[in-house]
């Protein structure tokens, strides 16, 4: 098993990345959150899971080992392949997946493209007891975060993993979504994350332009 790859980031696309490991380009599939943390030309480390099929060897990459762990557990659900498991982690953080399973919130999984009510119910049924919130006592439901938007905590967590403080992340998300309410209305974690990062980039360029003026 290839546990991780480390080297110069050679390419970052919409759904894949390439890391140059001693002259060999290791291509992997990943979520937008993981890819957003990589910079072409800089060294990067990606935790990986190798999925072996009769006609292919496919590498999937993750920012942290916890994502890989949840991904591999998801693969144990009948009817859930690696692309669908990755889609779950593009919408939900590993902890959110654990909470959804633990509280039997099948509706949370229907927010993932490609997952309908039947598959969502199967996820909860087959993963019950296999995924529990970290630190939660057995049989005890975790406390609600009280966040008004169900996606906000997950986007904040994704940005925190990229280096922003929770306070700065929350403020940036609020301002970015005020400029793009149509994206906020979708509730799509990848879209909201991309829009916020785009908003931050535009703000940085504006500050530089003002300094030059």
Residue 65 · residue 47 · CB < 8 Å: yes
Q: Where are the beta strands (DSSP E) in 13-107?
A: 16-21, 24-29, 43-53, 56-62
pLDDT digits (tens, 9 = 90+) for 97-113: 988 888 888 888 998 88
Q: Select from 80, 83, 82 the least CA-distant residue to 101.
A: 80
Q: Select from 142, 106, 107 the least CA-distant residue to 127.
A: 106
Q: What is the pTM of this model?
A: 0.63
Cα–Cα distance, 131 to 119 (Å, whole number): 17
Band of the pLDDT at 209, cuts 50, 70, 90? very low
pLDDT digits (tens, 9 = 90+) for 155-188: 887 777 677 788 888 889 999 988 888 888 877 7
Q: Select from 34, 35, 28, 30 the least CA-distant residue to 85.
A: 30
């Amino acid at each position: 098993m290839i546990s991780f790859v480390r080297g110069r980031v050679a390419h970052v696309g919409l759904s894949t990345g390439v890391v140059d490991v001693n002259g060999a380009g290791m291509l992997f599939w990943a979520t937008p959150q993981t890819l957003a943390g990589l910079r072409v030309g800089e060294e990067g480390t990606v935790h990986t899971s190798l999925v072996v099929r009769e006609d292919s060897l496919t590498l999937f990459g993750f920012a942290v080992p916890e994502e890989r762990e949840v991904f591999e557990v998801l693969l144990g659900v009948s009817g859930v392949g690696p692309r669908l498991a990755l889609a779950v982690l593009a919408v939900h953080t590993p902890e959110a997946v654990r909470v959804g399973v633990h509280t039997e919130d099948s509706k949370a999984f229907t927010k993932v493209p490609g997952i309908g009510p039947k598959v969502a119910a199967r996820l909860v049924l087959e993963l019950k007891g296999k995924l529990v919130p970290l630190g939660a006592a057995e049989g005890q439901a975790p406390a609600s975060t009280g966040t008004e938007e169900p996606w906000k905590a997950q986007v904040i967590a994704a940005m925190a993993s990229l280096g922003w403080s929770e306070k700065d992340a929350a403020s940036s998300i609020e301002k970015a979504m005020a400029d793009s309410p149509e994206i906020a209305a979708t509730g799509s974690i990848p879209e909201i994350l991309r829009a916020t990062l785009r908003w931050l980039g535009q703000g940085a360029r504006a500050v530089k332009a003002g300094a030059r003026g």
